[in-house]
Structure 1
């Protein structure tokens, strides 16, 4: 069974459903494997579990937010 894994920040249920659907469809079309053979895993991470440029991502994003 093909396995697709996506890691990122928190996303809502509707976006997860859309991602799973579209990732599965594209992978199925590209590889010629039936959609029902795919397993998709979305791993959500807190912004403080990521870092960029020596800072936690929550701080990076806060610095970029319009004031």
Structure 2
């Protein structure tokens, strides 16, 4: 059973439903396997650094 892990910013429940539905469709088509697990890991901007800066600091500036 394929497992897909998506890490990104927080999104609403409808966005999560859409993301899971669409990822599952693609993985099923490519693998030809009926069971797919999608894990969504939401990261707060204070826990993500890009180019040496926290995202939370970049948004303030």
Same fold flag (TM > 0.5): yes
Q: How does 1:4-43 map to 2 (within 5 A)?
A: 4-34=4-34, 37-43=35-41
Q: Using structure 1 for the length normalisation, give the TM-score.
A: 0.83
Give aligned pairs, total: 61
TM-score (ref. length: structure 2): 0.90
Q: Which structure is larger by alpha-carbon Rg, 1 or 2? A: 1
Q: Which 4+ stretches in 1 moved above 6 angstroms?
A: none
Where 2:6 maps in the other structure, the secondary structure is strand
Long gaps (5+) in structure 2: none
